[in-house]
Amino acid sequence: MRFIRSAWLLTLAVGSAAITLGSLAYFGTDLPEFVIEKLPLPWEHVWLGALKLHVVAAALALPGCLVLVSQTALKRLPAFHRWAGRATAVVVLLALVPSGSYLALFAKGGLPSTVGFLVSGAIAAIAMVQAVREARARHFAAHRRFALHVLAQLSVAVTSRAMLFVFDAIAFEDEPAYLVSLWLPVAASALAVELISWRNHAHLSRSSRLSARLRAASI
């Protein structure tokens, strides 16, 4: 299980770096092809500004979340964990989600895609707020659950692109492929976090009951 977790986090780190490198073209003088396909856009300069802000925020937020789920960093550098968490929360809430929500209004695939991106952004924003609140209240199990929800929704950028690559390789129809590659990771990521949290809670409950029985038997 630990190997799978480590492999998944490494995959997300590599995927995040690849997306960031691929997005550097957005800051050049020539517009990327997918931007040209969207023209004409209302308030084109606003859309381009939101795109660049989103790219920068994503380049910081996903790696930030990966650092925050590191148990080694948490145990050895708790102060760093707290400040990294605060910085990541600011990036997600004030840059990533607002810019992504604006870009979602013009998403490929029309209304279903727009709703999908908005749902993912809403989950990430609400979970981030709750993660901060639970950390301040020192409810660390709940804090971890909500922090994982943030990471899960940010990971959609990586898993979605991987699915699109596969669909393109098998010549799957563009629009259905785009919608499936968006909605399936959004829903599956949220469900996976809840299943992991339930499993951890059940394990802790069994351990607590066993400890209580052992203490009672020793009296």
In a structure prediction context, what are the per-residue pLDDT tens digits for the chain, which is 219 residues long?
677 888 888 999 999 999 999 888 888 777 777 777 777 778 888 998 999 999 999 999 999 999 998 888 888 888 999 999 999 999 999 999 999 999 999 988 889 999 999 999 999 999 999 999 999 999 999 999 999 999 999 999 999 999 999 999 998 888 899 999 999 999 999 999 999 888 775 555 555 554 544 454 455
CA-based radius of gyration for the chain: 20
For residue 13, the one-letter residue type is A
Q: What is the DSSP letter of 105?
A: T
Q: What is the pTM of this model?
A: 0.86
Q: How far is CA 203 from CA 75, 196, 208, in A?
A: 22, 11, 9
Count the domains in the chain: 1
**Residues whose CB falls within 8 Å of the CB of residue 190, separated by 6 or more in sequence, listed in order:** 123, 149, 152, 153
Quote the pLDDT of residue 1.
65
Contact 83, 69 (CB under 8 A): no
Quote the pLDDT of residue 210.
42
Q: What is the DSSP letter of 31?
A: P
Range of the domain at 194: 2-218
Quote the pLDDT of residue 212.
46
